[in-house]
Amino acid sequence: MNNADLIVATLKAAGVAHGFGIPSGNVLPLMEAMRKADLPFVLTAHEGSASFAADVMGRMTGRPGFCIATLGPGATNLATGVGSAYLDRSPMIALTCTLNTKQLGRRIQMWIDHRTLFKPITKASFQLEPGAVAATLKRAIEIALAEPQGPVHLDLPEDVALAPATEAAPTEFTVAAIAPSGDAAAFANACRLLARAKRPIAVIGASAMRLEDPGLLRRLIETLKLPFATTTMAKGLIDDDHPLGLGCIERARRQIQRKFLRGADLIVGVGYDTVEVEYEAWIGDVPLLAIDIEKADVDPSVKVVGEVVGDLAASLERLLAGAKTDPTWTSAAIADQREAFQRSLRPAVAAFAPHQAIDIVRKLLPKDGILAFDVGAHTHQIASQWDAHAPRTFLITNGWSSMGFGLPAAIAAKLARPERTVVAIIGDGCFQMTCGELATIERLGLALPIVVLNDRSLSLIDVKQVRRQYGHYGVDLNGDPTTRPPAHYFGVPVAAADTPRAFEAAVTKALAAKGPSVVEVALDPKHYLETVYD
């Protein structure tokens, strides 16, 4: 066994199921170890896709996602998805294979200081050294899985990879847990605030997404009779069809949600990570009771009247046992708000519009189907409009918000949950960035429909230009609306649609297919001006 074999054995012991990346000569020793140990290596079209896929694999499995790149440009490309895992808090091991140890630090082709590159976008960065490979990797895995979760970078010199292993692969990993809050006064205050509130509203955020038992959150909401809204990342933790549900905040038609939230007399932030959207953007002068794994990151204008900091599950259990509420919200008021919000997202249109296409996909996808989507104007529309019915069925990057996420996210989701229906919805701009991953999907033989919303522009930037009274400039992708897609991309068949009926037929066929397919739908994006950022 050499150290590359030892690395792979340790990753498998930690539950890592796939590695994503692009090879080079420096990567070959690790790839050979993966081949011998049957740890699948997924060749992607770009290292950024490899790290996005590893991010989502970490979210889906609760084990570290794993991505691999060579030195220099491979490492800089990989950094995009590593940053996603850092701000969206997904467990990941990002491994860069580099020069022989004696060459490090010299002005040699492709070499840069990887550890300096990855330091600001990871929880930790280590160089693997002889005699400490397994111990360092064990520590990296434990750091990645400790809350708040995130990526850890490892730099592997080629001579270290090839050197004989002198350690045994670890079989156990000890992940440091966040201690339950022992602050009795904080709990007493929280119970007091909840008991006094007549119009409390819970807002659930990304930290809650990592609860081992999301049912605990639902029980708290139901026991305390709290109307609840969610951030984008937290959608599906409680079924969006729940009678207490208000929908997503701070995406399309956000002013409607803001107005309702500012009518509360207490906001209960549950697992709310401000990397998604800062409290001061929407809370107004409503008092805040924050319950999270960390202290709330707030502007001084936010009225924090209570805070419980510690293990989130333990805090929810304690509140479930001791808190009482007597809210005056009526079922009709909650239902009316939800209905008005959803109705506003679907303005009357003359041409085939994005909101219509999104509704068609939601209708056809099974309730437990998984949606992966990308960043753009459609992100705002989907986040507000889509009903998510279960945890980890709604995949997007919000803290990082990078275009190019959707296709690799869908690949990882389908590999992690092969028995589930997975669909990707991406804009045409995102498709141009990552269309090479269709070759990856085709090679893997994944039954994965990809819906491309073709509005021929970077619509989100177009909306921002209009709002700021700037000229229309630099956002057109394909100005000819009569252009038709080809019969296939990289062997993946393509269906074109420009009417609701044709689109529904194409998506139905794609969902029934045994392999991948693309449905490219021509849309009129005008309603984004009415719904996005309003």
Domains, the chain, ranges and CATH? 3-162 (3.40.50.970), 184-338 (3.40.50.1220), 345-531 (3.40.50.970)
Please give the pLDDT value at position 479: 63
The rounded distance, in Å, linking the Cα atoms of 506 and 499 is 11
Please give the pLDDT value at position 359: 98
Task: Tell whether pTM > 0.85.
Answer: yes
Please give the pLDDT value at position 96: 97
Please give the pLDDT value at position 481: 66
Write out the chain's pLDDT in tens, 534 residues.
999 999 999 999 999 999 999 999 999 999 999 999 999 999 999 999 999 999 999 999 999 999 999 999 999 999 999 999 999 999 999 999 998 889 888 888 888 899 999 999 999 999 999 999 999 999 999 999 999 999 999 999 999 999 999 999 999 999 999 999 999 999 999 999 999 999 999 999 999 999 999 999 999 999 999 999 999 999 999 999 999 999 999 999 999 999 999 999 999 999 999 999 999 999 999 999 999 999 999 999 999 999 999 999 999 999 999 999 999 999 999 999 999 999 999 999 999 999 999 999 999 999 999 999 999 999 999 999 999 999 999 999 999 999 999 999 999 999 999 999 999 999 999 999 999 999 999 999 999 999 999 998 999 999 999 999 999 999 998 767 677 888 899 999 999 999 999 999 999 999 999 999 999 999 999 999 889 877
How many other C-beta atoms are found inside a 10 Å radius of the C-beta of residue 437?
A: 26
The rounded distance, in Å, linking the Cα atoms of 82 and 90 is 9
The rounded distance, in Å, linking the Cα atoms of 192 and 306 is 10
Please give the pLDDT value at position 105: 86
Phi/psi at 219 (nearest 5 deg)? -65, -40
Residue 92 CA neighbour count, 13 Å, CB half: 36
The rounded distance, in Å, linking the Cα atoms of 416 and 17 is 8
The rounded distance, in Å, linking the Cα atoms of 299 and 360 is 40
Question: Cα dihedral sign for 432, 437, 439, 441?
Answer: negative
Please give the pLDDT value at position 342: 97
